[in-house]
Amino acid sequence: MSLVTGAARGIGRACAEALARAGSAVAVADLDANGAEETARALAATYRVTARAYGCDVRDAGAIRAMVDAAASDFDGLDNLVNNAGIQFVAPLAEFPDDRYQAVRAIDLDSVFYATKAAWKYFVARGRGRIVNIASVQGLIGSPYKAAYVASKHGVVGLTKATAVEGAAVGITANAICPGAVMTDLVRGQAPALVQSYGGGISEDEALERAFLDAMPTKRFIEPSEVGALCAFLCSDFAISITGAPISIDGGWAAH
C-alpha cells in the first residue's frame, strides 16, 4: 500500500495515480477530506485498486500518527510513503510574517519528519520501505521572497539523506524529488505576490513566466504526471539502489 499526503490535487494526486496505475493500493491523505474522497473514488474506478481517503491536518503530529496507524491497520501494513503536502508564502524576508514562516515550516518540513517517524515501524516489520519526499528545486538553490519555503525544502533534502543512511540497514530507501515549476494551485497562488514583487504593470501569467520559466532552459512548465511517474519508479524494486538522492526534475533549472 502507498500512503500519499496532500493527494487531493496537484502533484500529490499525480503520484497517487501513478502508484495506482502500477497496481498499488493507495491511502489518500489530505486536509481537504472531500477532495481526498473524490481522488480515492477516481483511483478505485479507473485503476481497479483499493483506495481509501483520510482527512488529516499535517500541522498536527498526533493527527499524522493517527492517520498513518489507521491506514496501516486498514491495509494490513505499509509499503510506500510519499510526503507531498506543502504550502507556499511569498514576501520579502524583512516583512515575512512569523506565523506564516512557522506554518510553512510545519507543513513543508515538520510533517515529513512526523510521517516518516510514524511509518518507520511498519517498514521495519516488512523489511522493506520506500519513502519519497517531494522537495523542490528550491531545496537545492536559493530564491528571493521565499525564505520559509527555501529553508523548509533544504531541510527536506537533508532529512531525506539522514533517513536514507539510517534506513539502509533495515531495507528502507528514501529519496527527494526536486521539481522545478509545476503548474499547480501552489504555483498559481503565488502570482499576485509576484506581480507586486516586480513592481506591477505585468499580468499574473507574465509574472509566473518571469519567476519560473526564465530560470528553466526548457522554457516549459512541468506536468504533475511527470513527477508522478518518477515517484512510482522510486517506489519500485528497480530503484532498490537509489537512496539518499535529491533528484531534479526541473527543466535544467539547477544546472545553472
| Average pLDDT score over the chain | 96
Q: What number is the average pLDDT over the span 57-65?
A: 98
Q: What does the alpha-carbon distance between residue 130 and residue 243 come to, in Å, rounded to a whole number? A: 9
Q: Which residues pair with 26 in a beta bridge?
A: 2, 51
Compute CA 195 distance to the chain's CA centroid, rounded to the nearest angstrom: 26
User: In which band, very low, low, confident or very high, does the pLDDT at 60 lie, cut at 50, 70 and 90?
Assistant: very high
Q: What pLDDT does residue 32 have?
A: 98
Tell me what pLDDT residue 193 has: 82
Phi-psi region of 219 (alpha: psi -120 to 50; beta: other; left: phi over 0): left
> Domains along the chain?
2-251 (3.40.50.720)
- pTM strictly above 0.85: yes
How far, in Å, CA of 128 to CA of 64, rounded? 21
Position 95 scores a pLDDT of 97
CA atoms of 109 and 133, how far apart (whole Å): 10
pLDDT tens-digit series, residues 6-50: 999 999 999 999 999 999 999 999 999 999 999 999 999 999 999
Grid coordinates representing 165 are 543512511
Q: What's residue 247's pLDDT?
A: 99
pLDDT score of 189: 83
pLDDT at 186 over 80: no
Residue 57 confidence (pLDDT) above 80: yes
How sure is the predictor about 215, in pLDDT bands with cuts at 50, 70 and 90?
confident
Give the tens place of pLDDT for each residue, 160-172.
Answer: 999 999 999 999 9
Q: Which of 219, 8, 157 is nearest to 208 (CA)?
A: 219
Grid cell locating 50: 483499493
Per-residue pLDDT, 249: 98
Catalytic positions, written as ranges: 149
Tell whether the model's pLDDT for residue 194 goes beyond 90: no
**Cβ count near 219 (within 10 Å):** 12
Determine the average pLDDT of the residues in 131-154. 97
Question: By C-alpha distance, which of 44, 42, 8 is closest to 28?
Answer: 8
Give 212's pLDDT tier (boundaries 50, 70, 90).
Answer: confident
Q: Lowest-pLDDT range, 95-109, 123-137, 176-190?
A: 176-190
State which of 179-183, 205-209, 222-226 shows the largest mean pLDDT: 222-226
